[in-house]
């Protein structure tokens, strides 16, 4: 809770009484999907996107008032810092305007607390006229709030809202979490494109009742099967994204190795191309 019962609301001029640390990696837990119920739901015609949101999503609420999630404002401030917003001084209203562009409209209490706790910001000025500037530049400038192109996000639609949000929060922060998400999006995208084109049975693992084939087999099937003479995935594209499967497997199954963001950045153009090719079949 941001307000204590019977206490005065926190303002930008007050100091916080306690600190709360949020680990963005915790959000990865909310991304895991049981493929068996996913498979059965799609075949029965149920709304997968709604089912997923109700059962697995940890929402970051971007609404006005006291319902604002405690996690959302600090994380969005960190995103703005990563985008270079605080490379020059910003007054309180300028920060609110930046957050509003992201669809976030917090109370003064929530924003004041988040600003005072932001270890990467320096507060300048006097009471009632505070300004905020970064203490140091971020390790990596995030050029856009969305990692994937806007047109691709629109093509992926509501079924991928959770993954896109998690990717935005983790990209540039954790290579291991990012690799896991990119692999998951690829696997899920192949599954949905096949299911929506009546080819979902091609992905069944004949040796495992109700199970699905592995990602490498999915990719091979995406190359082999065509819609209107065009494959789900071009063979050249498929070859170029072999690295993301390896990185995703490493992030999920290798207990002694972490994935570097620098490694992921090298394959991002190829993974975007693969997503775009598959999204055309949705």
pLDDT, tens digit, 9 for 90 and up, residues 187-207 = 999 999 999 999 999 999 988
| Global confidence as pTM | 0.54
**pLDDT at site 84:** 79
| Rounded Cα gap, residues 278 and 282, in angstroms | 7
Q: Residue 156 sits in which domain range?
A: 146-279
- Cβ atoms of 132 and 121 within 8 Å: the answer is yes
Start-end of H helices in 118-241: 150-156, 161-170, 175-196, 215-224, 235-240
257 part of a folded domain = yes
Residues 178 and 232 in one domain: yes
| Rounded Cα gap, residues 128 and 80, in angstroms | 22
Give tens-digit pLDDT for 224-266: 999 999 999 999 999 999 888 888 888 888 888 899 988 888 8
| Nearest CA among 228, 143, 241, 236 for reference residue 189 | 241
**pLDDT at site 127:** 84
| Rounded Cα gap, residues 252 and 183, in angstroms | 10
Which residues does 48 contact at the CB level (< 8 Å), separation at least 6?
A: 38, 41, 42, 159, 192
Query: 81, 114, 134 — which closes off a domain?
Result: 134
The stretches in the chain having pLDDT less than 70 are: 1-71, 139-145
**pLDDT at site 145:** 55
Residues 130 and 150 in one domain: no
Number of domains within the chain: 2
């Amino acid at each position: 809770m941001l307000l204590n019962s019977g206490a005065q609301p926190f303002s930008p001029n007050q100091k916080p009484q306690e600190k709360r640390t949020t680990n963005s990696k915790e959000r990865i837990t909310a991304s895991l999907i049981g493929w068996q119920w996913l498979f059965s739901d799609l075949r029965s015609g149920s709304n997968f996107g709604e089912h997923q949101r109700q059962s697995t999503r940890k929402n970051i609420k971007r609404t006005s008032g006291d319902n604002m999630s405690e996690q959302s404002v600090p994380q969005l401030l960190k995103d703005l810092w990563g985008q270079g917003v605080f490379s020059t001084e910003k007054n309180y209203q300028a920060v609110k305007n930046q957050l509003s562009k992201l669809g976030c409209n917090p109370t003064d209490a929530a924003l004041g607390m988040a600003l005072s706790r932001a270890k990467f910001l320096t507060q300048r000025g006097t009471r009632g006229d505070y300004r905020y500037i970064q203490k140091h530049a971020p390790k990596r400038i995030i050029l856009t709030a969305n990692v994937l192109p806007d047109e691709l996000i629109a093509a992926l639609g509501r079924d991928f809202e959770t993954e896109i949000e998690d990717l935005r929060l983790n990209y540039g922060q954790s290579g291991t979490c990012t690799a896991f998400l990119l692999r998951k999006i690829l696997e899920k995208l192949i599954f949905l494109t096949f299911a929506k084109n009546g080819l979902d049975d091609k992905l069944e693992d004949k040796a495992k009742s109700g199970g699905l084939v592995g990602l490498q087999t999915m990719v091979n099937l995406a190359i082999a099967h065509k819609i209107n003479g065009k494959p789900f995935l071009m063979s050249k594209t498929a070859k170029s994204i072999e690295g993301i499967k390896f990185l995703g497997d490493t992030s999920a199954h290798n207990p002694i190795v972490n994935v570097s963001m620098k490694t992921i950045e090298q394959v991002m153009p190829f993974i975007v191309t693969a997503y775009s090719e598959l999204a055309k079949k949705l």
